[in-house]
């Protein structure tokens, strides 16, 4: 494939024995539901290269030209894919955070360069999460709604993953402002411009799990979150399900216990694997909470631990899928014990296990969860094809490739 032609408003591409001419106009036509076929912020027309194409043809010529047309269509699709990756903006909110920064890394690795990063960018300890990543623009969180109003036609997709995630914060007003109302504003703008949207919900909406972990929409109004953070996520899910207007595609993702690189800044809110690694590195052993529930042994409390690389793979798949809107669980689909997690961490570090069981603090004992497990059948039913990492493989990669060398993704 070679490029020729010097006119400012057209490009000719050689495919086979004939050039294809693309006329480029500055108007905006975005066929959002078909990104892999034709999605970019210019109108592209494919024209015959000479009058010979309109003359009567023999059957042999028709067959030959059919082959040439197939080549032309292949080049057009390739051109469209390149344009989508380089020119159509993908917005990621909370960009400097844990999951969003990994998503940007994943998008970059797949060739998507036109990333708009939205965050407050005020924390120096989060800056390394974005170092070396291809980002065309950084937008302050507060300025983003106005920016989207101005640039909405040029945005191909929005991943709204930014939120206040501190489960110990008790101020409902803070969560209403940062999680609920801000998300409503983004939803409304995505509706106006018909921008597909994936947003972060949370498995915390399931409360103590007494109603199970089923992501069926009919089940969601019955959930009973246990803290203001979880309630803010629940409130937005319920608001979304009541809306008559929506983007042509949207998905809310109930993240379970996500772990993986780029969580160095999270402090006490970092994953159990992160804390286990540093405790073992410092003391040579690990402390786990005792069980205070009859029939459950110490260390056999279970969680659905999901590797962040699996999470961002689902996000990118949904960006291409763009149908079957709804709220989905996003976990591994397999509950594992804290003892399993500890043993996997010791193994990845090459250290013999040394585990001490300590009483669960009285302040959290009553509401302590003994089991979480995402029902993943709904996501699988719409065609998600990839298997999820086992706890051992995910922890092994996280420890060996990121925590031990202190690397970022």
* Residues marked as catalytic: 229, 266
Q: Please provide residue 25's backbone torsions phi and psi, each rounded to the nearest 5 degrees.
A: -110, 155
| Distance between CA atoms of residues 62 and 64, nearest Å | 5
CB contact at 8 A, 197 and 246: no
Alpha-carbon separation of residue 365 from 91, 129, 258 (angstroms) = 40, 34, 22
If one counts every other C-beta atom within 10 angstroms of the C-beta of residue 6, the result is 7
Label each residue of the chain as H, E or C: CEEECCCCCEEEEEECCEEEEEEEECCCCECCCCCCCCECCCEEEEECCCHHHHCCCCHHHHHHHHHHHHHHHHHHHHHHHHHHHHHCEEEEECCCCHHHHHHHHHHHHCCCCCEEEEECCCCHHHHHHHCCCCCCEEEEHHHHHHHHHHHHHHEEEEEECCCCCCCCCCCHHHHHHHHHHHHHHHHHHHHHHCCCEEEEEEHHHHCCCCCCCCCCCCCHHHCCCCCHHHHHHHHHHHHHHCCCCCCCCEEEEEECEEECCCCHHHHHHCCHHHHHHHHHHHHCCEEEECCCCCCCCCCCCEECEEEHHHHHHHHHHHHHHCCCCEEEEECCCCCEEHHHHHHHHHHHHCCCCCEEEECCCHHHHCCCCCCCCCCCHHHHHCCCCCCCCCHHHHHHHHHHHHHCCCCCC
């Amino acid at each position: 494939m070679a490029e020729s032609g010097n006119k400012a408003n057209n490009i000719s591409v050689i495919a086979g024995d004939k050039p294809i001419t693309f006329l480029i106009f500055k108007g905006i036509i975005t066929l959002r539901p078909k990104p892999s076929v034709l999605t970019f912020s210019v109108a592209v027309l494919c024209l015959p290269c000479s009058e010979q194409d309109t003359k009567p043809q023999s059957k042999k010529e028709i067959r030959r030209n059919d082959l040439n047309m197939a080549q032309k269509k292949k080049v057009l699709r390739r051109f469209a894919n390149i344009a989508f990756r380089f020119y159509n903006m993908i917005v990621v909110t909370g960009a400097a955070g844990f999951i969003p920064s990994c998503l940007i890394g994943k998008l970059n690795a797949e060739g998507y360069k036109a990333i708009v990063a939205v965050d407050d960018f005020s924390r120096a300890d989060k800056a390394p999460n974005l170092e070396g990543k291809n980002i065309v623009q950084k937008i302050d969180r507060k300025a983003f709604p106005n920016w989207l109003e101005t640039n909405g036609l040029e945005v191909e997709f929005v991943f709204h993953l930014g939120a206040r995630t501190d489960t110990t914060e008790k101020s409902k007003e803070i969560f209403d402002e940062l999680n609920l109302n801000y998300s409503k504003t983004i939803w409304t703008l995505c509706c106006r411009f018909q921008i597909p949207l994936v947003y972060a919900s949370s498995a915390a909406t399931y409360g103590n799990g007494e109603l199970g972990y089923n992501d069926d929409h009919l089940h969601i109004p019955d959930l009973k979150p246990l803290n203001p953070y979880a309630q803010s996520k629940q409130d937005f899910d319920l608001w979304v399900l009541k809306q008559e207007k929506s983007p042509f595609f949207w998905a809310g993702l109930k993240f379970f216990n996500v772990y993986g690189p780029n969580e160095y800044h999270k402090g006490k809110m970092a994953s159990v694997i992160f804390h286990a690694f540093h405790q073992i590195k410092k003391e040579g052993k690990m402390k786990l909470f005792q069980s205070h529930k009859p029939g459950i042994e110490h260390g056999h409390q279970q969680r659905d631990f999901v590797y962040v690389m699996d999470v961002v793979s689902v996000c990118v798949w949904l960006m291409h899928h763009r149908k079957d809107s709804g709220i989905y669980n996003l976990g591994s689909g397999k509950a594992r014990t804290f003892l399993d997690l500890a043993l996997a961490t010791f193994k990845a570090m090459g250290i013999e296990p040394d585990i001490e069981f300590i009483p669960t603090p009285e302040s959290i004992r009553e509401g302590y969860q003994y089991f979480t497990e995402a029902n993943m059948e709904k996501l699988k039913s719409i065609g998600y094809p990839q298997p999820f990492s086992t706890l051992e493989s995910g922890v092994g990669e996280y420890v060996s490739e990121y925590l031990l060398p202190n690397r970022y993704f």
